[in-house]
Structure 1
Amino acid sequence: MLPTDLLPVATQITTLIGNSQKILVAAHLRPDGDATGSVSGMVKSLLKAGKTVDAALLDGVPERFAFVFPQIELIRQPIIDSDHDLILILDSGDESRTGFTFNRDREKTCLVNIDHHASNTMFGDINYVDTGASSACEMVAALLHHAELPFDSEVALSLMLGLVTDSRSFQNEGLRHTAHLAAAKILQTGVDTSPILNMLNSGKAEADLRVQGFGLSNFRLSCNNHLASLVVRHSDLTRLNAAFGNVFGSGLFNQLLSMSDTYASVVIFEREDGMSFCEFRSRGGIDVKEVAVAMGGGGHVPASGCSRAVKIDELAEEAIKLMTRQVETFFAGQKNT
């Protein structure tokens, strides 16, 4: 499952894990299925290998993904005074994306960056970055297999969650064959994937659907219908008896791309504390990562995001302006080829 060029760094990490007893595993803020799945899968495997393991997710485990997470106490304070032998940061393009400050003795504690985002800043002492991987869970599956660490059905359930959600059920454009090899390895454990399927197909809350209905009634099209945009204010969520998390549960980010002429979308929404967020999606090769990075975020060519402590109208104006330029430039280039 491992690309040949990553074998040396994977072997280096394998040795580090073998020589470490106390290990910390962390991932990014507002964890999605891939962050939750990769952390929980890694933690489960390391615990089964007899390691002492801590897990850190500043925003906690989303309720809809809690079924994969082991019964351990999460570290959630923003400053971690680490006495660990090893820190593994998963699915994070930059150390700051975790929301944590890791105070560590760099001579004692090695920090390993395991990620698949093209915008990764190579912040680790060791960087295992594979931008062709479908997900961090694919990378963790390959690493556990390479290291011959425990890989049973409990570990597999966690890793399948991230593999399915981050690949959009294996529908992402340019999906590499290694995603399917990881899935095969996972399924060989005999894992029961029905909890994941139930969560995806019948696990929505009423408020998720109300937000979805609001979005489908209020999005706007521009750029000859190639760009869909939607603004969801906190006041809208309050009126719908919904919360910030229901925006993620609504499925709107990808659903706006289901129209035949629409190749890019941006959803701008706000949290109750005034923090504003953008989620960008695309198909057909439009690079939304460039827009996200320009706005202080990051991600992948077809799926990226950013957040800022600014008013939602300000962020929306900038995001729609940049996305409009990105879409118009893309289609102008198509006409010239």
Structure 2
Amino acid sequence: MLLLTHVRPDGDAIGSLLAMGRGLSKMGKKVWLCNEGPIPAIFRFLPGIEEIVSEPGDLSRYDTVVTLDCSDLSRLGGVAEKVGRVPTLINIDHHITNTGFGSHQLVDSSASSTGEILYRLFGDLGIEIDEPMAYAIYTAIFTDTGSFLFQNTNPESYYICGRMVEKGVDAYNVAQNLFATYSLGRLKLLNMVLETIQISRNGKLSVMYLTQDMLRETDTLVDDINGLVNYAKHIEDVQVAVLIQESRRMPGVNHGTHFHVSLRSNGPVDVGNIALAYGGGGHPGAAAFTARSGLAEIKQEVFRISESL
């Protein structure tokens, strides 16, 4: 059985992948955990993280594929087309923008995270959650709720995380690994990115950008980008914050320069719908899409969004 999650994996994606893998293994299933992109270093503390590989091998050897925290089949990356031909495709997700792909779906947009859905699923299946699974589920919920700061935080978020602490999770250790440990390079990068902030004429949208040159100059990695967009979100009167990030060109792939555009909402604006209009997706409070035009053109288009705020 092959377990997959989306490219550019976040805490919910990684945590759900690990929790589901261990849960199915406890049921006697042979599982293969895969994500085609590099796993961010901040998740290295999670038990079992070394089991996630970047290549699934020959997909014809799998009779079942489970996708986790993935709103659209294309978000799986290069394996998407072949995965769609596997006999049984199970889609487990919480994004309201989920396209309903697969032969079976377990999609609950009211859940704070895919990790929350898995917690309930394990209970229904009678699977005992052990400490490694608890760390994975706690991380999934903790990150997707922005450490309980985002609007998708619900009573279940607190309840489940409390149960995971009872299972042995060191909440302080998780927080330190995810949000409280910065390299000097990250601080230098933050300074450079903050210098790029621009505000729309109506003051309701903020834009910042990050280039590959900035990463090279500060000797930082993609991991160090995590959370930067939130600085633009906290500006007074801003309702939508945007981080335009130049993506690294993959060796041997001739797609030209492209940008990952992250959006965060600081109020009633549903950025999930905005991202959906540009071929992306996400939550009302946090979403993203990919753009292949130039930086100036992307900024111009983003500022056009502010006119409707």
The amino acid across from 2:230 in the alignment is N
Inter-CA distance 245–184: structure 2 relative to 1 (3 Å threshold): closer
Identify the match of residue 127 of structure 1 among 105, 110, 119.
105
Shift of 1:76: 2.4
Aligned match of 2:70: 92
Distance 2:155 2:233 in 1: 24
Structure 2 counterparts to residues 136-175 of structure 1, below 5 A: 136-173=114-151, 175=153
Cα shift readout 1:287-329 (whole Å, capped 9, x = no counterpart): 111221111110011110011343333333223322x1342xx
Identify the match of residue 304 of structure 1 among 266, 282, 287.
287
Inter-CA distance 29–80: structure 2 relative to 1 (3 Å threshold): farther
Aligned match of 2:300: 317
Cα shift readout 1:10-64 (whole Å, capped 9, x = no counterpart): xxxxxxxxxxxxx211100010111011101111222233321101101032111
Say whether the 8 Å CA contact 2:208–2:232 is kept in structure 1.
no
Distance 2:292 2:29 in 1: 39
Between stretches 40-49 and 280-289, larger displacement belongs to 40-49
Cα shift readout 1:249-296 (whole Å, capped 9, x = no counterpart): xx2211222223222111101023122110000122111112211111
Between stretches 70-79 and 299-308, larger displacement belongs to 70-79
Inter-CA distance 178–95: structure 2 relative to 1 (3 Å threshold): same
Distance 1:34 1:112 in 2: 17
Identify the match of residue 265 of structure 2 among 245, 270, 282.
282
Helix, strand or coil for the counterpart of 2:195? helix
Q: TM-score, normalised by structure 2?
A: 0.89
Residue 30 (1) aligns with residue 13 (2): no
Cα shift readout 1:136-192 (whole Å, capped 9, x = no counterpart): 111111111221113111100011111111101112225332222322332231322
Residue 265 (1) aligns with residue 241 (2): yes
Say whether the 8 Å CA contact 1:278–1:319 is kept in structure 2.
no
Distance 1:118 1:105 in 2: 21
Identify the match of residue 246 of structure 1 among 189, 201, 224.
224
Cα RMSD of the aligned pairs, angstroms, is 2.2
Distance 2:45 2:28 in 1: 23
Between stretches 62-71 and 121-130, larger displacement belongs to 62-71
Residue 183 (1) aligns with residue 166 (2): no
Helix, strand or coil for the counterpart of 2:95? coil
Helix, strand or coil for the counterpart of 1:218? coil
User: Identity percentage over the alignment?
Assistant: 28
The amino acid across from 1:67 in the alignment is F
Helix, strand or coil for the counterpart of 2:151? coil
Between stretches 198-207 and 258-267, larger displacement belongs to 198-207
Between stretches 153-162 and 172-181, larger displacement belongs to 172-181
Aligned match of 1:18: none
Residue 233 (1) aligns with residue 218 (2): no
Distance 2:80 2:215 in 1: 32
Distance 2:234 2:84 in 1: 49
Q: TM-score, normalised by structure 1?
A: 0.82
Between stretches 305-314 and 68-77, larger displacement belongs to 68-77
Inter-CA distance 276–174: structure 2 relative to 1 (3 Å threshold): closer
Distance 1:28 1:89 in 2: 8
Inter-CA distance 199–71: structure 2 relative to 1 (3 Å threshold): closer
Residue 101 (1) aligns with residue 77 (2): no
Structure 2: tracts of 5 or more residues without a match:
250-256
Distance 2:282 2:14 in 1: 17
The amino acid across from 2:90 in the alignment is V
The amino acid across from 2:40 in the alignment is P
Shift of 1:94: 0.6
Inter-CA distance 226–242: structure 2 relative to 1 (3 Å threshold): same
Distance 2:165 2:222 in 1: 34
Between stretches 303-312 and 52-61, larger displacement belongs to 303-312
Helix, strand or coil for the counterpart of 1:280? strand
Inter-CA distance 214–184: structure 2 relative to 1 (3 Å threshold): same
Structure 1: tracts of 5 or more residues without a match:
1-22, 328-337
Cα shift readout 1:170-215 (whole Å, capped 9, x = no counterpart): 1222533222232233223132233312113432222222221222
Distance 1:94 1:294 in 2: 14
Say whether the 8 Å CA contact 2:145–2:152 is kept in structure 1.
no
Inter-CA distance 129–310: structure 2 relative to 1 (3 Å threshold): same
The amino acid across from 1:303 in the alignment is A
Structure 2 counterparts to residues 25-64 of structure 1, below 5 A: 25-64=3-42
